Structure 1
Amino acid sequence: MSQVPNLEAAVPWDDKRRAETLLRLFAVGRENSGSTVMFHSAVAAKQGLNPTEEKALDLLERHGPLTAKDLAERTGLAPASVTGLVDRLAGKGFVRRVKHPTDKRRVLVELNREKIAHLFAFFEEWAREIAAACEEFSTDELDTVIRFLQVMTEEQRKAAARLGA
């Protein structure tokens, strides 16, 4: 980035404590976002993937087989980019194209579960570490974090859609 965003201009300063908290939230959020991107880049690289490919596998794992159109909608990628993405993942053996069960004109992209089994094992270990780190928080605090992340995820999707428009 050539310029640092002026986040202070976006913060209402009529409540100084809230404004300072929001600025801290922006700073921590940026740090978290950066570490998340780097984490997924490292995971992807271990598998010979790029981060977009790794996150596409995550979508398929969470939602089951999807059409290329579904992948385009969920990733925000252009259809031609999704075609290239699926071609690369299929070429590496991570996914396969299968006929749609009810509409033979459509094709689904499904995971090759045998190929990604070791990747899931890594995430299971990581999930245990995260669960242990959450021990210091009450269930109510975790519920608040979940609600916050749901709202922020939706805002991030809207921002990405605006960039793609």
Structure 2
Amino acid sequence: MDSEHREKDGERAGVLRRLMAAGRANSAVTVMFHSAVAAKQGLNATEEKTLDYLERRGPLTAKDLAELTGLAPASVTGLVDRLEAKGFVRRVKHPTDKRRVLVELDQEKIAEFAVFFEDWARDVAAACEEFSTPELETVIRFLTVMTERQQRASARLSES
């Protein structure tokens, strides 16, 4: 291998180390942010992110929630029980299969979360002004790939 290739390999290795460090830092502050938002509503981070799934995807079955969260079915039952007791969700009959139950958000209760994300949404919009549209497309592609990989990693952890 010539020195030019070694230099490029070394540069890439350095960039990958910095990327991993930036990803870890981002992950840590993301967890802390969502934990703080959850605490403001008397929730834990898992409960808050479950509400996020329901907001983005609409009503889901407990089985759907187990698959999305990687939690065991019994844990999902407890999770839904807690969210229902706190007034964030309700169980409703499935519209086409009366044997199944859906978990749906209480839209009025979930609206209370909006205030916690307004400042953050403004910060994100301002930060995006520093990047071109093609750069943002690359970030979207990267985040999409990493989300899929992390979901698979979570599933592997749940299986073992």
* Structure-2 residue corresponding to 1:99: 93
Q: From 83, 86, 91, give the equivalent of 2:80.
A: 86
Question: Residues 48-63 of structure 1 correspond to what in structure 2 (within 5 A)?
Answer: 48-63=42-57
Greater RCO between the two (CA within 8 Å, min separation 6)? 2
Q: Specify the alignment match of 2:32 in structure 1.
A: 38
Question: TM-score w.r.t. structure 1 length?
Answer: 0.89
Number of residue pairs matched? 153
Counterpart in 2 of 1:74?
68
Which aligned runs of 4 or more in structure 1 are off by greater than 6 angstroms? none
Aligned-pair CA distance for 1:123: 1.9
Counterpart in 2 of 1:23?
Answer: 17
Q: Which shows bigger deviation, 14-23 or 98-107? A: 14-23
In 2, the alpha carbon distance for the partners of 1:76 and 1:119 equals 24
Give the RMSD, CA atoms, in angstroms: 1.3
**What residue in structure 2 maps to residue 6 of structure 1?**
none
- Report the counterpart of residue 148 of structure 1 in structure 2: 142
Which runs of no fewer than 5 residues in structure 1 stay unpaired?
Answer: 1-12
The superposition leaves residues 114-138 of structure 1 with CA deviations (integer Å, 9 ceiling, x where unpaired) of: 1111202332332122111111111
Structure 2 distance, partners of 1:127, 1:14, is 37
One-letter amino acid of the counterpart of residue 83, structure 1: T
Q: TM-score normalised to the size of structure 2?
A: 0.92
State the partner residue of 2:117. Answer: 123
- Residue aligned with 1:37, SS: helix
Question: 2 CA distance for matches of 1:138 and 1:51?
Answer: 33
Please state whether the residue corresponding to 1:15 is helix, strand or coil. Answer: helix
5+ residue gaps in structure 2? 1-6
For residue 22 of structure 1, what is the amino acid of its counterpart? L
Q: 2:114 and 2:75 mapped to 1: Cα distance?
A: 26
- Render the CA deviation track for 1:79-122: whole Å, top value 9, x for unaligned: 00000000000000000000111111111000001111120233
